[in-house]
Structure 1
Amino acid sequence: MFELILSLGKCLVDLTFSEWFSGKSLHISTLNITSTGCVSSSLTKLKIEVNTFDDCLYLLDGRLQCLSTLIIKIFEICYSLANIDNKKTLPKLKCFSLTSECYTQFYDDGIVLLLRRMLNLEKLTLFLLVSKIESTYIDGIQLYDEILIFMPRLNKLTFSINTLVFNRYITVDLPSNDDIQNSFIKRRYQPVGSYADEKLTDYAGRCHVYSLPYEFDCFYHLTNCFQGGIFNKVRWLAMADQHPFEHELFKKISHDFPFLQKLVVLNSKPQKNKQHASTLITFVHLVELNLRLAHTNYVEQFLLETKTCLPHLKNLVIEYESLVMITNNFTNDATHRNCSQLRRIDIDKPFICPENFHSYFPLL
């Protein structure tokens, strides 16, 4: 299909390409992109979703001769399987946006090398999740020395970069959040938000750096180190930590993410300060809640009407045992209000509905 569009659109200058089937994106196959028919002498702007980093490299190998703006979302960035030149400069490219929502280890040997080719870039947007082994976090000094110094004409940088490090065999002194902030201040960046683990837990540590104001609709892997702020554009939030999330953090999130619609909580640690949860929290716009990989304390935190108000909750992802426990086998009045508007429950395994199940969830 992509090849056909390019062949028919001889004068096409702006293309957004995304196929949809049953609500899920079908990414272009590498076979189509590598086809000799995927060429254009007129296209200047392309917005596209692809499967691999190789697909991105093929699009930038010269077949799109006039391309100046590329907005690309890559499903998975992994080591290149093809012999594609990732060194030739890209002087015509003025605007580049790269999004990938899967963790990649191909940052230094792939992404960095690609970005260094964009000598005349004026606008750069990065949304990345990077994993590193025996290393440290990506900070302002690394960004400048490894990438931005090669882009003398860059006038706008928008980014959200999560770094997950695994340091098992060597000792790496991880920077504090103040160190990370200073790394951006020294290089005269625009305002930047950040939070970071200063110590490893099970050999792992997380850091998140992002330009302000925050421009993306997704926010990944918020931890207890989160520093706060206002994130009006975020609609999807994932929380993950190996230390418990307490009531006060959820209160902060309800304030700092006022238009949040989807929330994922990944935490197996029980709360320690349940007795201090006296303030009612309201998530006004939340429609989808995923607690499948969360301790039962968080099921209680969100479903008990004395702790949290979820007036528009429609979809719940949860383990059956947790749901049965907190609703007291679908008889607990204190959880009924937050459950009464549910239209879909995604449970981890098949089960036989008890007699009062449908009366407890009348809209299912």
Structure 2
Amino acid sequence: MIDVFYSLVGVHQRFDRLALDSLYIHHLDFVMKPLFDRNSPVDNQLLDRIYTKILPRIHHKVNKLTLEPLSIECVLNTVHYPQLHSISFVNFHYETLLRHLQGDTIVRLLTDQITHLDIYICEKTTEMSEKNELSILVFILSMGKHLNDLTYNQWLSESAIRISPLNLLSKSLKSSSLTKLRIEVNAFDECLYLLDGRLECLSTLIIYICEITNSSSNTNNTKTLPKLKCFSLASNWYTYCYDNEIVSLLRRMLNLEELTLFLSVIRTESTYINGKQLNDEVLIHIPRLNKFTFNIHTHVINNNIKIDLPSNDDIRNSFIKIGYQQVDSFADDKLVNNRGNCHVYSLPYQFRNFMFMNSAFQGGGFDKVRCLIMFDRRPFEYELFKIISRDFPFLENLTLRNSEPQQNKQQQSSIFITFVHLVELDLHSIHIDYVVQFLSDRNILLPRLKNLYIDYEPLITVTNHFTNDATRPNCAKIEQLFIKEPFVRPENFQSYFPLL
């Protein structure tokens, strides 16, 4: 951290030797990361001294810079960095970043030195220029003569429109040096375009697709992809296109060595995805695969046929038989309203998200998960939340969707459930039982809760028009309250939510 580095330099000669050692200064991060990873600019006074007193002493040892909008100009224009090969741009708007990229210093760095580039867009406006975003990518790839590793991520507010970073007419979007790309896109077509040969040397593609739908691309979707060695495909939303789009794409990756899948698949008049199906349809076509990490959720809708659904043991055994021993699953063995769900995932669980968990969950180790979304047409009982608080110890974001009332409220334990790290809770469109359970400090403790999404009617009911002492402690911590419908703040509202 740059502030720690600053505090050591100039204190003592021995500290100077330690702080200015190339082992510690090869990467300078000019973005502060306080609790909950909310980035904030480094103090200006601190930066001024670093620019004028410290950078001139160490510039020749710096290999990587992490910059935000307020620090970029001074850091890059103060001194020359002959050993710099990696830059991360964090919390930039599109137009601001494009303006800086076209400056003489960055143009020279991109052309002569930079091999690794990370871009993290943070956009809050509802209107963004697709032309600007496309210009950023085209500019980077055209100027980055030595660029071999590019990350392009977007952090957008709910009101912002996610603009796809690719355009069907963007023939100029190409590179002859890039070997590794991490990127977020809107649709499956963008994935196909990235693999159509415009990135000649690409061997690793890590891609998040907002929604995977049927392709409308005119590109050759049957051509093999022999250069691709590592492929990661993730989407947080349901797709109907697993069998006809995703399977077809994976079969083209003949020399793939590492595969990561994070998918929620809807199938109609069918059964759950299991190990035998996955092997017969995909894995036998990529014989060099030596690492397979996955979380596959299947949601079946069988309105017209009756199929005996496999059990948890059946699902696990189907993977064990094809050589994947470290696998767990939980599945509905009976349909509810002609619908059923199965989650199967490799162990240890490697993802930050877990999507569409239901009441069939029995537990496991999920230390890496930070975001959990729960949905079911059966009640979420108290015991399930006990399991989740235990097995998701670092959970930060929780979303609940369930319109069914709890059946076992009288069996709730006198032992409190605590979600130690939970920052954000989404209770929109949910039965009031769960509002009671999570907002009352007699049921669940939420010591770090800051953001609450909720409907107004259940909120005033559970808080008894903002007078209920049982819900006051959890509500008093709220810093951001998201209520969709307009309302007039009543008399007790401000004292009940003092941090708003």
* Moved beyond 6 Å, runs of 4+: none
What pairs up with 1:98-109 in 2 under 5 angstroms?
Answer: 98-109=233-244
**Secondary structure at 1:101 match in 2:** strand
Picking from 407, 432, 437, the partner of 1:296 is 432
**1:272–1:356 CA distance, 2 compared to 1 (3 A):** same
Picking from 282, 290, 295, the partner of 2:418 is 282
- 1:355 aligned to 2:491? yes
How much does 1:34 deviate? 4.3
**Secondary structure at 2:470 match in 1:** helix
- 1:225 aligned to 2:357? no
Bigger radius of gyration: 2
Letter in structure 2 aligned against 1:18: N
- 1:70 aligned to 2:205? yes
**Structure 2 contact 358–374 (Cα < 8 Å) conserved:** yes
* Counterpart for residue 271 of structure 1: 406
**Structure 1 contact 18–26 (Cα < 8 Å) conserved:** no
Letter in structure 1 aligned against 2:454: I
How much does 1:222 deviate? 1.1
**Secondary structure at 2:383 match in 1:** helix
How much does 1:22 deviate? 5.5
Picking from 475, 478, 484, the partner of 1:342 is 478
What pairs up with 1:122-271 in 2 under 5 angstroms?
Answer: 122-271=257-406
How much does 1:201 deviate? 1.1
* Counterpart for residue 315 of structure 1: 451
**Structure 2 contact 137–165 (Cα < 8 Å) conserved:** no
Deviations 1:28-75 (A, max 9, x none): 3442x6422112111111111111111111111111111100111111
- 1:80 aligned to 2:179? no
| Mapped partners of 2:294, 2:155: distance in 1 | 27
Which consecutive unaligned segments of at least 5 residues does structure 1 have? none
| Mapped partners of 1:17, 1:228: distance in 2 | 34
How much does 1:19 deviate? 4.6
The total of aligned residue pairs comes to: 363
**Structure 1 contact 19–27 (Cα < 8 Å) conserved:** no
* Counterpart for residue 58 of structure 1: 193
Letter in structure 2 aligned against 1:248: E
* Counterpart for residue 93 of structure 1: 228
| Mapped partners of 2:474, 2:325: distance in 1 | 41
How much does 1:25 deviate? 7.7
**Secondary structure at 1:100 match in 2:** strand
| Mapped partners of 2:494, 2:385: distance in 1 | 30
**Structure 2 contact 268–301 (Cα < 8 Å) conserved:** yes
How much does 1:21 deviate? 5.8
Deviations 1:148-202 (A, max 9, x none): 1111111111111111111101112211111111111111204111111111111
**Structure 1 contact 282–309 (Cα < 8 Å) conserved:** yes
How much does 1:334 deviate? 0.8
Letter in structure 2 aligned against 1:13: N
**1:319–1:22 CA distance, 2 compared to 1 (3 A):** closer
**Secondary structure at 1:333 match in 2:** coil
What pairs up with 1:7-46 in 2 under 5 angstroms?
Answer: 7-19=142-154, 26-31=162-167, 34-46=169-181
| Mapped partners of 2:182, 2:400: distance in 1 | 31
Q: 1 or 2, which has the higher helix percentage?
A: 2
| Mapped partners of 2:336, 2:448: distance in 1 | 36
Which consecutive unaligned segments of at least 5 residues does structure 2 have? 1-135
**Secondary structure at 2:471 match in 1:** helix
| Mapped partners of 1:349, 1:128: distance in 2 | 32
**1:4–1:69 CA distance, 2 compared to 1 (3 A):** same
**Secondary structure at 2:201 match in 1:** coil
Q: Which has the higher contact order (CA 8 A, sep 6+)?
A: 1
| Mapped partners of 2:155, 2:440: distance in 1 | 38
How much does 1:327 deviate? 0.8
| Mapped partners of 1:77, 1:273: distance in 2 | 38
Deviations 1:300-346 (A, max 9, x none): 11111111111111111111111111111111111111111001111
Alpha-carbon RMSD across the aligned residues, in angstroms, is: 1.4
| Mapped partners of 2:156, 2:336: distance in 1 | 41
* Counterpart for residue 245 of structure 2: 110
**Structure 1 contact 315–345 (Cα < 8 Å) conserved:** yes
Letter in structure 2 aligned against 1:317: Y
**Structure 1 contact 177–196 (Cα < 8 Å) conserved:** yes
- Under a length normalisation based on structure 1, what TM-score does the superposition of the two structures give? 0.97
| Mapped partners of 2:462, 2:450: distance in 1 | 18
